């Protein structure tokens, strides 16, 4: 993922899950979320979907999950809107 190819990293994680029976853990999900958040608006939308996938897989989101989401939301909304950025994350199901 150092090359920035987050979709390829996600496909590799999916392949490991399907072919080797190794489901992604919190570290994998957090890495994908952090990578997608760095890709701008499209990536942030995909990061939110990865968060949903994380929850569906039974992994509990934590500080390492929410930090990149909050940072990306704050950057997208501007420094004047920190409450709005926080509400984007706290209003999640």
Q: How confident is the model at residue 36 (pLDDT cuts 50, 70, 90)?
A: very high
Grouping H, G, I as helix, E, B as strand and the rest as coil, residue 17 is helix
User: Given a cut of 90, is residue 91 above it in pLDDT?
Assistant: no
What is the mean predicted confidence (pLDDT) over 84-89? 60
Distances (CA, A) of 88 to 23, 69, 72, 91, 93: 27, 9, 11, 6, 11
Instruction: Give the mean model confidence (pLDDT) for residues 56-71.
Output: 91
Which pLDDT does position 42 carry in this prediction?
73
Q: What is the pTM of this model?
A: 0.80
């Amino acid at each position: 993922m150092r090359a920035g190819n987050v979709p390829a990293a996600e496909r590799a994680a999916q392949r490991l899950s399907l072919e080797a029976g190794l489901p992604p853990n919190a570290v994998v999900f957090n890495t994908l979320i952090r990578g997608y958040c760095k890709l701008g608006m499209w990536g942030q939308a995909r990061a939110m979907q990865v968060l949903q996938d994380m929850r569906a897989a039974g992994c509990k989101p934590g500080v390492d999950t929410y930090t990149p989401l909050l940072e990306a939301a704050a950057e997208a909304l501007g420094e004047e809107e920190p409450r709005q950025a926080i509400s984007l994350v706290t209003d999640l199901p």
